[in-house]
Structure 1
Amino acid sequence: MIDVTLENFEAEVIAASMTQPVLVDFWATWCGPCKVIGPILEKLEADYGGRFKLAKIDSDEQQQLAAAFGIRSIPTVILMMNGQPVDGFMGALPEGKVREFLDKHLPEGGDADLPEEEPEVEAAPQDAGAVLEKLQHAVATDPANDDARADYVKALLQAGRPHEAAQAFEPVAGKAALERRFESLERVIDAFAFAASHEGQGDFDGRIVANKRDFEARFGKARQLIAARRWTEAMDELLEILMRDKAWHEDLARKTYIAVLDIIEPPRPKVADGQIPPDDPTVASYRRRLSSVVLS
């Protein structure tokens, strides 16, 4: 087991996972469940005899690493292989469940004797209109349901309906400083408003050609791309800022990049006992790109 910091992350996690799976445990001293899962993971590292390495990251002391991985609650455990996250779980799972999780991925896994689980039948995808109608009904019948409201605003933004999104967001606007999901929604709503107020104004591309470090122009272009729902192009532009100045304007580029990731991330399907299903490929790719730039 090794304690990982920003300084040794590249060597102890990314590089190490190229030759040996690395199990990364995000924890904090105040977290009760962390004190339950921590000893289980340390015991299993010994029991598995080198089939994986345990790395522990204090999410309070290493906030940059926690942000790069999009950690929203702890404990969160992520398995790294070949430099990339391949699976994970949240919460203090019992030892048996952690063994099942490990045996799915580790070389010479011992899950042959485990009973086979029946595959879950995925529900047929609903069209965007039906999803919006369902969420609108949920908000109308329970205005205090923040989860439904956040999903509704997100769906409206994905559908390119910013005015309705702004109206639906207003009752929870005061929570933007307290919860990341609302902060992300607010940033994207602001991008739509910026683009609407600057329509036909500003030669952002020309300014960028003249000065690659004109971050105001790059950020303006990124917000216009967000409003056009050209999500990946917007993140590409924000990465250009981050590669040149990670802390520009009080971390504005990184925060906006994360907001776009939050908006485009699709709902995750139900899985067994707290395990984290694989990320959407686009989200996973752009999350890795952010990590590589922020941690470089």
Structure 2
Amino acid sequence: MTDISPAALRGAVDLSALRNRPSPSAAPAGSAAQPDSAVASGALIRDITDETFGEVLELSRTVPVVVDLWAEWCGPCKQLSPILEKITQELAGRVVLAKVDVDANPQLAQGFRAQSIPMVVALVAGQPVPMFNGAVPEEQVRQVFEQLLQLAAQNGVTGTLPVGERKPEEPVEEAPLPPLHAEAFAAIENGDYAGAVRAYEKALAENPRDEDARAGLGQVRLLDRVQGLDLQQARAAAAAAPQDLDAQFAVADLDIAGGHVEDAFGRLLDLFAAVGTDERTAVRERLVELFGLIGADDPRVISARTRLSSLLF
């Protein structure tokens, strides 16, 4: 269930256009608030802005953060958001809900590759996790939240946010970034993906066990590849040339960036089965790279690895 959206790492998208908006969960002035609504909204349900995105990303190392991409005009969003808020409040600090108004925050929406809304992703230990698109019944939402908690536990994210102990306006002090990581994030914000790749590669050369740098390197490479790609044009090119590696790789990258992980893996596995021996190496290497972005424990990766093994042997 681990989604790799380009916006996962702090600084991985340009957040300059982000701004605050009132929480839809907050009770209007003069109205009767529901029990604990102020506490739950302040601590557990919040809006993402350029100032607070880094905060929730760091928070995801303690507790999983569910990101709800919505818009005021979106009817299905208005059906789904109350369900997300209800379940978040019931979990009492085990999950945080972060809301993104895609109209107010176009660059963050673009970073998450939100091609349709409502779109729900999560952050676990700084990594993006795909959850679902569209209005989903409450029972199914509960099942996905439970899967998210299980995945978070597998990655050591088992904290509980102390509800009501800090006000939402209190800033969170972030630990200073390692110099090469800061250099990479600055390069990404400037659109210099090659510079970000160099910084992450240098960080890994200095410390091969730097998993944050490894994850960042994979994601910035994906960002670089999908930059400027048009999904419809890429799909048309892939349909016209079913065994063209570059055409199929482009659509797979866009699918991964948009959270359509199974579609990407299925496309590349079908390609692996169809091409000759000389081309299979490149397809396998791209699959392995994408497996690393999604996470070895993700059931979709496990399933895709099993099929790849059967094709190899």
Q: Does TM, scored on the shorter chain, surpass 0.5? A: no
For the aligned pair, the TM-score class normalised by the smaller chain equals 0.3 to 0.5
Larger Cα Rg: Structure 1 or Structure 2?
A: 1
**Higher share in helix:** 1
Q: TM-score, normalised by structure 1?
A: 0.42
Q: Which has the higher contact order (CA 8 A, sep 6+)?
A: 2
TM-score normalised by the chain length of structure 2:
0.40
